[in-house]
Structure 1
Amino acid sequence: MNGTLLSWALTAVVGLLTGHAWLNATRWLRRPPPGAASTDEPVAVLLPLRDEATRVGPCLRALLAQRGVPELEIVVLDDGSTDGTAELVRAVAAGDPRVRLLGGAPLPPGWLGKPYACQQLADRAGPQARVLVFVDADVTLGPYAVAAAVRTLRSASAVLLSPYPRIVAGSPAERLVQPLLQWLWLTFLPLAALERSPRPSLAAAGGQFLVLDRAGYRRVGGHAAVRDRILEDVELARAVKRSGGRIALADGSRLAECRMYASWPELRDGYTKSLWAAFGPPAGATAVVLLLLLLYALPPLLAVGAALAGAPTVAGVALLGYLLGVLGRLVSAGATGGRGWPDALTHPLSVAVLGWLTIRSYHLRRRGRLTWRGRPVR
C-alpha cells in the first residue's frame, strides 16, 4: 500500500471511530439528573480501605453529607491498614450512628484483596438495604450523588450501574494517561448494545463508584463470583449479564470526582497490575496495541515524514487523521468532564505510553512480579 492509500485508510477509520464516540456521548450515554434528587429506598454505601489515610477523609466527609437518602448506612472495612486509616475513620465519623467500621478478616486462599473486602462489606450491610453502593477511597461524591445514582439505576431497569466519576488529573503523567479510560470505552464500546445485549463480552464498569440492586447482586453470587479477578468490576458486570440481568454505564462527572493516582509510580504500577487482565491473551493484546499505534501514533509521524519528503497530499491527509484523533479526545473530555485542550494534542504520545504500560504488565506477570498494596497479583 502506498503512502496516499495508507494515509486515507487510517484517516477514514479514525474518523469513523471519532463519529462513534460522538454518537455514544450525545445519544447513548446515560446522564443522571442534575441538581437535587431523592430516593425512598434504603441504601448501604460500602467503603473498602487498605492504607488510605491520605485519601479517606474527603471521601468519608462527602458520604456523611449525602442528601436525599433518608435511610442511609455507611459500612467501612479496614483491610489490614498500617497507616492509621481506622483511627482517621473514627475521627471523621465522630460517632455518627450511620457509620460502622469493620476489621477485615485474613485473606483466604483463592481470593484477591479487593473482591474479598467488597464481599465482607456486602455481607455486613444491614438487612433493610435494597441498594448497595461501592465507593473507593479516592472518590469524592457530590451531595446528591447517591440519590441520583439510585434513581438512574432504577430508570435503566438495571442490576448494575457504573456512573463514571470525573477523573482528576494533576500531574503531567496523569494528564497523559488517565483520559484514556473514558476515551477507550466511548470510542470502541457500542453503549446502546452494551445495555440491550445479553452478551457478557459487551460489558464495562468502573469499581470506583458502583451501584447494585441487592437482590440482583445476590443472584449473581456477589463478589464471590469474581473472587480471583483483578478486574473485579468488569467481571461482576459480566456475571450480571450471565445471570440475565442488565447493566448500564452513565456519565457520573456531575456526581463524583476521582483522583486515582497522585504520582507517576502509582499510576505506572496501578496500570501494570491490571492491563494484562483487560486485554486478555498476549496475542490479542499485541493486536490491539498495534492497531491503536497504527491509528493514532502513526499519522503525525507520517505527516511529518511526508512533508519532509515533498508529498503534500499524503502529509495533509495524515495530518487530518491526527486531528480527527485529537477531536475524539475532545469529544470524550466534553462528555465526561475531563480536560480537553491542550491535553488532547498529546493523544499519540498517550497511546504510545499505554502501549508501553501494556507490554510492562505482561512482562511482569510472566515473571511473577506483579504486586499491589503489598500483595502479589496472580
Structure 2
Amino acid sequence: MVTALGSLAAWSWLLLGQGMFWRTDVRLPPRREPAAWPSVAIVVPARDEAEVLPRSLSSLLAQCYPGEAELYLVDDGSRDGTGELARRLAAEHPGLPLTVTSPGEPAPGWTGKLWALRHGIALARSGPRGEPAYLLLTDADIAHEAGSLRELVSAAETAGLDLVSQMARLRTAGLWERLVVPAFVYFFAQLYPFRRVNRPGARTAAAAGGCVLLRTEAAVRAGVPDSIRQAVIDDVSLARAVKRSGGRIWLGLAERVDSVRPYPALGDLWRMVSRSAYAQLRHSPALLAGTVAGLTLVYLVPPAALAAGLAGGRPALAATGGLAWLVMAGTYLPMLRYHRQSAALAPLLPLTALLYLLMTVDSAVQHYRGRGAAWKGRTYPRPSDA
C-alpha cells in the first residue's frame, strides 16, 4: 500500500509540478515578418540516407524564403550513394542552391554528426555570399513544409531568440511505432519540460536535433560545435552550450516539420533508444539504478497495485493504483492526439514504459560490453575515454 501511495504522490507532482510537461500547446511563439529577411545557411549531415532523402531534401530545396538561403549537405562517409542522389535531386527539383561536400572520417574525439556539422558550418561561413545570419541545422530524415524556414526565422527575429528548435512530428504508421513513438516525445518532455526550457532564467536546456535554427553569432559565442564535439546527445548539449553563453533558446512541438524515417519493427525502435539511453545517464550505474527504480514506481506499480488489490480483496489498494493509472493515462492523451493516435493506447503506457526500461538496461549492457553508443557502423566511447 505504501508503494502505491508513493506512486500516486509521484503522479500528483508530475501532473502539477513538472512544468505542465504533458501539455502539447507549446508551438512556435507569436511572430511577425521582419522588415529585412536575414540570410540563412541550411546544414544537413547525412550518412547512408538514400532511403529518406527524396522526401526530406526535396522539401528543403523547395523552401519559400524571401531572403538569401543556401543548402549544404554534408555526406558523412555514406556507402549508399547519398551524395550522388542529393545532386540528382537538386537537378530534378530546382530551388535553393545546393552544395554537397564530404569531410572525411571524424577526427579523434568527435562524433560523426558533429564532425559533419563542423565542416558544413565552416563551409557556410566562408562562402562567397558572406557569413549567414542564421544556421538551420536539420537532420537528413526531416521534411519541412514550404513555409517552415520562413516561420522559424520570423519567430527568432520577433522574440530575439538565439536558438529555435522544433520537435518534429515522428512517424507513427506501424503497430510498434504507434506504441513506442508518442511515448518517446512524452518522456523527453517529462525530462525537459518545454515551458522550463523556454524560460530565460531557468537552468533547464534542451533542443530537438532534427530542427534547430541557430543564430550564427550565438554559435560562435558558445563555441559550437567544437565545445560539444564528443556529445552523443548533441541536441541537448548544443542547447546547454548556447544557454550557458547567455543565449535565449526556445523549444516546442512542430506543426510543419515531420520525420520520415521508418521504424517498422520493434528492433529498429530498440536500437534507436538504446544507442544513447545510457549516455543520457552519463554512464552512471547509480543513475541507472535510480532510473529503473523510478520507472518502476511511476509506471509499473499502478497497474500492479490495481491487479493485486482486486485479486486480494483490498479496495483501498486497488483504488490507489487505479487512480494513479488514470492520471498517467490522462497525461498521455494530449501526446497521442498530437500524433493522431487512438486514445485506446493511453492505458498501455505502463507496457511502453517497461519496454523503455529494458532498452535503457540493454544500453548499459552494450556499453559495458564495449559497444557503446552506436550509429550506422560507428561506435563511440564515453567522452572521458575519447
**Which stretch shows the higher mean deviation, 361-370 or 263-272?**
263-272
1:221-249 deviation digits (Å, cap 9, x = unpaired) = 12111111101111111111221212211
1:5-61 deviation digits (Å, cap 9, x = unpaired) = 443332232133134568356598343569x97871111111111100001110011
Q: Which amino acid aligns with 2:258?
A: E
Deviation for aligned residue 1:109: 1.2
1:70-109 deviation digits (Å, cap 9, x = unpaired) = 3111111111111111121111100746111112323211
SS at match of 2:115: helix
Query: Within 2, Cα distance between the matches of 1:27 and 1:270?
Result: 23
Q: Partner of 2:379 in structure 1?
A: 376
Unmatched tracts of structure 2, length 5 or more: 382-386
Deviation for aligned residue 1:128: 4.0
**Which stretch shows the higher mean deviation, 46-55 or 144-153?**
144-153
1:131-161 deviation digits (Å, cap 9, x = unpaired) = 1001111111111111111222233432222
Aligned partner (choices 190, 210, 213) of residue 212 of structure 2: 210
1:40 aligns with 2:41: no
SS at match of 1:342: helix
**Which stretch shows the higher mean deviation, 87-96 or 349-358?**
87-96
SS at match of 2:198: helix
In the comparison of the two structures, how many residue pairs are matched?
371
Change (3 A) 1:248 1:376: same
Change (3 A) 1:191 1:83: closer
Query: Within 2, Cα distance between the matches of 1:259 and 1:246?
Result: 29
Q: Partner of 2:384 in structure 1?
A: none
Change (3 A) 1:104 1:338: farther
Deviation for aligned residue 1:196: 3.2
Q: Partner of 1:147 in structure 2?
A: 150
Alignment of 1:192-207 (within 5 A): 192-197=195-200, 202-207=204-209
Q: Partner of 1:31 in structure 2?
A: 28
Query: Within 2, Cα distance between the matches of 1:368 and 1:197?
Result: 39
SS at match of 1:211: strand
Deviation for aligned residue 1:187: 3.1
Q: Partner of 1:73 in structure 2?
A: 70
Q: Partner of 2:113 in structure 1?
A: 114
Deviation for aligned residue 1:287: 0.7
How well do the aligned residues superpose, as a CA RMSD in angstroms?
2.4
> Is the contact between residue 76 and residue 100 of structure 1 (CA under 8 Å) also seen in structure 2?
yes
> Is the contact between residue 53 and residue 83 of structure 1 (CA under 8 Å) also seen in structure 2?
yes
Deviation for aligned residue 1:367: 1.5
Identical columns (%): 29
Alignment of 1:1-378 (within 5 A): 3=1, 5-20=2-17, 23-24=20-21, 29-32=26-29, 40-94=37-91, 96=94, 98-125=97-124, 126=127, 127-197=130-200, 202-252=204-254, 254-262=255-263, 263-280=265-282, 281-334=284-337, 336-337=338-339, 339-370=341-372, 371-378=374-381
Query: Within 2, Cα distance between the matches of 1:178 and 1:259?
Result: 13
SS at match of 2:157: helix
**Which stretch shows the higher mean deviation, 312-321 or 261-270?**
261-270
> Is the contact between residue 205 and residue 234 of structure 1 (CA under 8 Å) also seen in structure 2?
yes
TM-score (norm 1): 0.90
Query: Within 2, Cα distance between the matches of 1:40 and 1:164?
Result: 24
> Is the contact between residue 156 and residue 248 of structure 1 (CA under 8 Å) also seen in structure 2?
no
> Is the contact between residue 169 and residue 259 of structure 1 (CA under 8 Å) also seen in structure 2?
no
> Is the contact between residue 37 and residue 144 of structure 1 (CA under 8 Å) also seen in structure 2?
no
Query: Within 2, Cα distance between the matches of 1:308 and 1:31?
Result: 48
Query: Within 2, Cα distance between the matches of 1:250 and 1:363?
Result: 33
Change (3 A) 1:121 1:248: same
SS at match of 2:343: coil
**Which stretch shows the higher mean deviation, 137-146 or 266-275?**
266-275
Query: Within 2, Cα distance between the matches of 1:27 and 1:256?
Result: 15
TM-score (norm 2): 0.89
1:117-142 deviation digits (Å, cap 9, x = unpaired) = 01111111142411100111111111
> Is the contact between residue 56 and residue 260 of structure 2 (CA under 8 Å) also seen in structure 1?
no
> Is the contact between residue 299 and residue 319 of structure 1 (CA under 8 Å) also seen in structure 2?
yes
> Is the contact between residue 136 and residue 212 of structure 2 (CA under 8 Å) also seen in structure 1?
yes
> Is the contact between residue 176 and residue 343 of structure 1 (CA under 8 Å) also seen in structure 2?
yes
Query: Within 1, Cα distance between the matches of 2:367 and 2:110?
Result: 17
SS at match of 1:179: helix
Query: Within 1, Cα distance between the matches of 2:371 and 2:102?
Result: 28
Change (3 A) 1:26 1:112: closer
Q: Which amino acid aligns with 2:224?
A: G
> Is the contact between residue 183 and residue 328 of structure 1 (CA under 8 Å) also seen in structure 2?
no
Deviation for aligned residue 1:340: 4.9
